[in-house]
Chains A and B, each alone.
Chain A
Amino acid sequence: MFNQIKNLAGGEIYLVTSLLMFMVFFVIVGVYLLKLSKKHIEVMSEIPLQENQPDVYEED
């Protein structure tokens, strides 16, 4: 399975760069997710169910 992404005859640079880009991107999103506050998540996920607006936004 991995042979097809290993033997690239000079094309490795594209693959390695792309995977690095992906890793960096993934780490950024991951760090952000870990830092999210619970209250905010709760407010956001309730939005579709609310007929009216939420009373408070924790950061406003």
Chain B
Amino acid sequence: MQLEKFTYDNRIVRNFGIATLVWGIIGMTVGLLVAMQLFKPAMNMGSQYTTFGRIRPLHTNAVIFAFVGNAIFMGVYYSLQRLLKARMFSDVLSKIHFWGWQLIILSAVITLPLGFTTSHEYAELEWPIDIAITIIWVVFGINMFGTIIKRRERHLYVAIWFYIATFVTIAVLHIVNSFELPISFMKSYYLYAGVQDALVQWWYGHNAVAFFLTTPYLGMMYYFLPKMAGRPVYSYKLSILHFWSLIFIYIWAGPHHLLYTSLPGWAQSLGVAFSIMLIAPSWGGMINGLLTLRGAWDKVREDVTLKFMVVALTAYGMATFEGPLLSLKQINGVAHFTDWIVAHVHVGALGWNGFLTFGVLYWLIPRIYKTELYSKKLARFHFWIGTLGILFYAIPMYWAGFTQGLMWKEFTPEGLLKYPNFLATTLQIIPMHVLRSVGGALYLTGVIVMTYNLAKTMLGAKLVANEPAEAMPLTKIIVDSSPADKAWHRVLERKPMKFMVLSLIIILIGGMVEMMPTFTIQSNVPTIASVKPYTALELQGRDLYIREGCVNCHSQTVRPFRSETERYGEYSKAGEFVYDHPFLWGSKRTGPDLHRVGGKYSDAWHYNHLVDPTSMSPGSIMPPYPWLIEQQLDITTTASKIRAMRTLGVPYSEGYDKHANDDLKIQAEKIALDLKQNNIKVKSDREIVAIIAYLQRLGTDIKANKETIPSNQ
């Protein structure tokens, strides 16, 4: 048999690499901007398009899907070709994948500041973009499986299993968490409501971390680390165990994001149990990576790429140890909604994803340009400033998290809340937020230095766009259909499609066990007779609440702790959220919970607070929302919104969509009149009136009708 000559496509790898650098800088700069707004709200530059609630999702989407996303594709396109001894299946598909992905990111950069958001964390993009993501993801899948099919290497190395699991699971997660009913070009409602919506979202949110930020990076680790160290992975057996147990367990752990909420207790417990088990495979992977460097630690001293890899693996170990700890109910009760969680995710994001990406970039770019890195000194500088950046980021955030979490729960000897004013706990941690920004700025400086270093490297040499290679073609093997002497995995390693289906089944089990009962068993979400659908004005106000991204700082779920019922009122019940498409429980309390805010303050208080929060709460770090007075409420959408809600099962009477705006106007006039009596002149057709209506409704359905709450709630 003759050796076949072919070439590796390095251009696509380089393009994804450049995109990683560019979006990395943009995403982290936006991150720095939002971080500074948390101690200096004026950093929003007085514009609604650059205010925290709208651009915090831009930061998260940019660093997850643009920075990490492009880095994944860079790593996959480089390693896949070499592991399979084949060029990518189709250059055209590679190009469509690259440009399609960049266009999706660009559309996020435009639509998120404009306020087009579904409000589901890390899935904020509206339905037309969701469809585009699906198409481009399928393009990626065809390209990857096409390459696998035309490979010249019989067995699929463990890195490729991680890539396959990533492809399959992200597809499932994205589709299930994107079931939306479109109302207009850029607005939709989720099919799910309340508790069920929350379960779907955090099943997605948690597994986006698992299968976008973890599994593809583990695949890259299993390829690039042996390459950098010049020795095989410490234990291939361990990598097999790592793979199967990780994908099996990870998918169950989502409910740990919803502890102490009105999600059924058994689902919460499943989330806790599987989160604890998750330590085992995660640490197995980390240890496997670190031990790959056994006997090569002298190289770590010399080689900056290995330094980045060691910190990345250490950060992975820390984050995956902390994750299970945070899912213990006792710890979660203090940590949830605080900066502790922000610290936790950034150890993972800055340490694991960031540093692994940098290591791979420093290793890969000189190789595809057949040259040396422009400056090793600058790379070492990047390593140290980056490490310092992580420390300056994480330590103040942990400190802030512990401080605030404990302050919320502290009682005086007389049994009263020690800090009844939420703002006192926010002001306490402002110095920590300043320090955190310093950490972020250091980290970003490192990335800019790296970009300069790599740009100089690229400009000083010529890209080997088509790298020559040769390998023997695969011969057909006649395999015994029931190989008694062969392990099934060896067969699987040769059959990528069967492998994909098996991975799919494994990841579906966890999601189905948790979701099916929550969706089908009535007793899991007991209905409450006094809970009624929102009025037309409240519904419009709710959509403004979503547009402004209020959910990024305010939760809407009171946990059954005395410290919370004292502060906010009655704890939240599942039946209260049955008309909430989408749920708005949130995941962070930069400001107080709002589920029982209805009726707590006057309309005038809300008006003044929205226009200038410091007028009602001196020292508040909430940004002012003056545009809510200037902008007229768009009521042309009311009818279609009511119709959509009816389709989703919200019991508005038939034909209500036609006269909903009449009711809306009456309610708006009433609020405007009330404001007028308090010397506030505002037209009843302004957006602020709708948002006040919504805020005043929140949590009030059961306030006056406690007897309607089912006994098991």
Is B471 in contact with chain A by the CB < 8 A criterion?
yes
Chain A residue, CB-CB nearest to B485: A59
B486 in contact with A59 (CB, 8 Å):
yes
Is B185 in contact with chain A by the CB < 8 A criterion?
no
From A5, A29, A59, B269 is in contact (CB under 8 Å) with A5
Chain A residue, CB-CB nearest to B491: A59
The smallest C-beta distance from A16 to any residue of chain B, in angstroms, reads 10
A5 in contact with B226 (CB, 8 Å):
no
Residues in chain B near residue A43, CB distance under 8 A: 155
B153 in contact with A47 (CB, 8 Å):
yes
Give the size range of A's interface with the partner: 35 or more
A45-60 contact mask (Cβ, 8 Å, vs B): 1 or 0:
1111100110001011
Contacts A11-B265, A33-B237, A48-B226; A5 near B155 (Cβ below 8 A):
no
Chain A residue, CB-CB nearest to B82: A48
Is B477 in contact with chain A by the CB < 8 A criterion?
yes
A14 to B271, CA, bound (A): 11
Residues in chain A near residue B493, CB distance under 8 A: 44
B273 in contact with A15 (CB, 8 Å):
yes
Is B301 in contact with chain A by the CB < 8 A criterion?
no
A52 to B83, CA, bound (A): 10
Within 262-310 of B, Cβ neighbours of A (below 8 Å) are at 264-267, 269-270, 272-274, 277
> Which among B133-141, B243-251, B656-664 touches the partner chain?
B243-251
Residues in chain B near residue A40, CB distance under 8 A: 487, 490
B233 in contact with A45 (CB, 8 Å):
yes
Residues in chain B near residue A53, CB distance under 8 A: 85, 152-153, 471-472
Specify the main secondary structure of chain B where it touches its partner.
Answer: helix
Contacts A15-B270, A60-B477; A49 near B230 (Cβ below 8 A):
yes
B303-331 contact mask (Cβ, 8 Å, vs A): 1 or 0:
00000000000000000000000001110
A29 in contact with B158 (CB, 8 Å):
no
Chain B residue, CB-CB nearest to A11: B266
A15 to B79, CA, bound (A): 39
Is B686 in contact with chain A by the CB < 8 A criterion?
no
Residues in chain B near residue A11, CB distance under 8 A: 264-267, 269
Residues in chain A near residue B506, CB distance under 8 A: 25
Is B99 in contact with chain A by the CB < 8 A criterion?
no
Is B509 in contact with chain A by the CB < 8 A criterion?
yes
The smallest C-beta distance from B293 to any residue of chain A, in angstroms, reads 15
Is B601 in contact with chain A by the CB < 8 A criterion?
no
A14 in contact with B272 (CB, 8 Å):
no
Residues in chain A near residue B470, CB distance under 8 A: 52
Residues in chain A near residue B39, CB distance under 8 A: none
Residues in chain B near residue A36, CB distance under 8 A: 237, 240, 487, 489
B154 in contact with A33 (CB, 8 Å):
no
A19 in contact with B248 (CB, 8 Å):
no
B245 in contact with A8 (CB, 8 Å):
no
The smallest C-beta distance from A29 to any residue of chain B, in angstroms, reads 5
The smallest C-beta distance from A41 to any residue of chain B, in angstroms, reads 5
Contacts A33-B237, A45-B236, A47-B155; A52 near B471 (Cβ below 8 A):
yes
Chain A residue, CB-CB nearest to B280: A26
Within 4-24 of A, Cβ neighbours of B (below 8 Å) are at 4-5, 8-12, 14-15, 17-19, 21-22
A49 in contact with B227 (CB, 8 Å):
yes
A60 in contact with B154 (CB, 8 Å):
yes
Residues in chain A near residue B245, CB distance under 8 A: 26, 29
Contacts A11-B265, A36-B487; A25 near B248 (Cβ below 8 A):
yes
Chain A residue, CB-CB nearest to B510: A18
Residues in chain B near residue A47, CB distance under 8 A: 83, 153, 155, 157
Is B241 in contact with chain A by the CB < 8 A criterion?
yes
Residues in chain B near residue A9, CB distance under 8 A: 265
Is B106 in contact with chain A by the CB < 8 A criterion?
no
- A4, A21, A43, A49: most-surrounded residue (chain B CB, <10 A): A4
A57 to B330, CA, bound (A): 52
Is B513 in contact with chain A by the CB < 8 A criterion?
yes
- A18, A36, A47: most-surrounded residue (chain B CB, <10 A): A47
A44 in contact with B157 (CB, 8 Å):
yes
Is B599 in contact with chain A by the CB < 8 A criterion?
no
Residues in chain B near residue A52, CB distance under 8 A: 470-471
- B158, B273, B472: most-surrounded residue (chain A CB, <10 A): B273
Chain B residue, CB-CB nearest to A4: B329
A48 in contact with B277 (CB, 8 Å):
no
B270 in contact with A14 (CB, 8 Å):
yes
A60 to B154, CA, bound (A): 10
From A5, A44, A60, B273 is in contact (CB under 8 Å) with A5
Residues in chain A near residue B159, CB distance under 8 A: 48
Residues in chain B near residue A15, CB distance under 8 A: 266, 269-270, 273
Is B517 in contact with chain A by the CB < 8 A criterion?
yes
B270 in contact with A57 (CB, 8 Å):
no
A35 to B485, CA, bound (A): 10
B480-522 contact mask (Cβ, 8 Å, vs A): 1 or 0:
0000011111100100000000000010011001100100000
- B231, B236, B488: most-surrounded residue (chain A CB, <10 A): B236
A1 to B276, CA, bound (A): 11
Chain A residue, CB-CB nearest to B244: A29
Is B252 in contact with chain A by the CB < 8 A criterion?
yes
A14 in contact with B267 (CB, 8 Å):
yes
A33 to B83, CA, bound (A): 22
B241 in contact with A33 (CB, 8 Å):
yes
Contacts A29-B245, A53-B471; A48 near B83 (Cβ below 8 A):
yes
A10 to B152, CA, bound (A): 54
A44 in contact with B155 (CB, 8 Å):
yes
Residues in chain A near residue B273, CB distance under 8 A: 5, 15, 18-19
A49 in contact with B232 (CB, 8 Å):
yes
Which residues of A come within 8 Å of B, CB atoms?
1, 4-5, 8-12, 14-15, 17-19, 21-22, 25-26, 29-30, 32-33, 35-37, 40-41, 43-49, 52-53, 57, 59-60
A-B pairs, top 6 by smallest CB distance, nearest first, are A11-B266, A45-B232, A45-B236, A47-B157, A5-B269, A41-B236
User: Can you list 17 A-B contacts (CB < 8 A)?
Assistant: A4-B329, A11-B267, A14-B513, A17-B513, A21-B509, A25-B506, A32-B487, A36-B237, A37-B487, A44-B157, A45-B226, A45-B236, A48-B79, A48-B223, A48-B232, A49-B227, A52-B471
Instruction: Using A8-B265, A36-B237, A37-B487 as known contacts, list a sample of 11 further A-B pairs with CB atoms less than 8 Å apart, ordered by residue number in A.
Output: A8-B269, A9-B265, A11-B269, A14-B267, A19-B273, A25-B244, A25-B248, A29-B245, A36-B489, A48-B226, A57-B154
Which residues of B come within 8 Å of A, CB atoms?
79, 82-83, 85, 152-155, 157-159, 222-223, 226-227, 230-233, 236-237, 240-241, 244-245, 248-249, 252, 264-267, 269-270, 272-274, 277, 328-330, 470-472, 477, 485-490, 493, 506, 509-510, 513-514, 517
